[in-house]
Amino acid sequence: MKLIVGLGNPGIQYTATRHNVGFRVVDRIANAQGWGWNDKRDNAVLAQGLSDGEKVILVKPQTYMNESGRAVGPLLRFYKLPLEDLLVICDDLDLPNGRVRMREKGSAAGQHGIESIIAHLSGNNFARLKVGIGRPLYPRQDVIAYVLGIPPREEAEALTKGEERAAEAALAWVKEGVTATMNRYNPDPAQPKRPKPAPVAPTGGQEVAGKPAGDKIDVEAGG
C-alpha cells in the first residue's frame, strides 16, 4: 500500500493558487484513474484504488498547509505504513515554474507543510515530489501573497504541464520506486539530451584496420 499526499489549502478561494499544486496533482491522478473522493479520516479527504496491482490512497489534508502533519501522522499510523511508503507532493519556490523534482528524503527546505509532517512523524525518511512555482518577479513582492496568488495565463500553462508531469511521476513511484522515478523525471524535459561522445581514435598498441597489436602501419611519403 502507498500513501500519496497532495498539500494545499481547503476552500474554493485557494483552488487555483500556486500553493495548491499538491491538491491539483492528486486530483489529476484521481480523475485519470476514476477514483472518487468518497472517504474522510483524520482531517483529510481520501480517494483510493489500485495502480499496477498496488493499493494507493490519495490524501488531501483539510487542516490548511502549515498543519498538514495533523492529518498525515494519524493516517500513516492508522494504516501501519513505514515512512518509505509515503509520498508528499507540494509546491517549491526554488524550482523554476513547472519543473518537477523528486527527492528520496531530506529537510523541509522552508516548506511549512513538509515541516509539519516531519514534526508529526518524527522523521524525514519519506519521498517528496516538488513542482516549481518560481520566485516572485519583483524582490520586494510579499512571498505569502505570491504563493497564495493565482498565476497569469502563460505562467499557469507552464505550471499545468508541470502538474501533469508530476501526476505521471507519482504513479511511476508506485510502480518503479524512488530511484527510477528520479532518474526519469528529475531532468528538465526542455533541455536536449547530451550527444554521445565520438569514438576515440585508436593509438599505438591497439589493433588497427585488421592489423594485430604492435604492428607498424606503413605510410608512403608523398612526392
∠ CA 166-47-119, rounded to 5°: 70
Mean pLDDT of the chain: 88
Distance CA 61, CA 3 (A): 12
- What average pLDDT does the segment 15-29 reach? 97
In this predicted model, what pLDDT tens digit does every residue of 36-81 receive, in sequence order?
Answer: 999 999 899 999 999 989 999 999 999 999 999 999 999 999 999 9
Residue 156, pLDDT above cutoff 70: yes
The mean pLDDT value for 178-194 works out to 84
CB atoms within 10 A of CB 65: 24
Give pLDDT tens digits for 85-132.
Answer: 999 999 999 999 999 999 999 888 778 999 999 999 989 999 999 999
Q: Report, as residue numbers or ranges, the catalytic residues.
A: 19
The answer to whether residues 126 and 108 touch, using CB atoms and an 8 Å cutoff, is: no
pLDDT of residue 210: 47
Distance in angstroms (rounded) separating the CA atoms of residues 36 and 219? 77
- Average pLDDT (10-32) is 97
Domains in the chain, please, with CATH?
2-185 (3.40.50.1470)
The SS3 assignment for 131 reads: strand
pTM of the predicted model as reported, rounded to 2 decimal places: 0.83
φ, ψ at 75 (rounded to 5°): -65, -45
pLDDT at 194 over 70: no
- Greater confidence (159 vs 111) lies with 159
3-state secondary structure of 46: strand
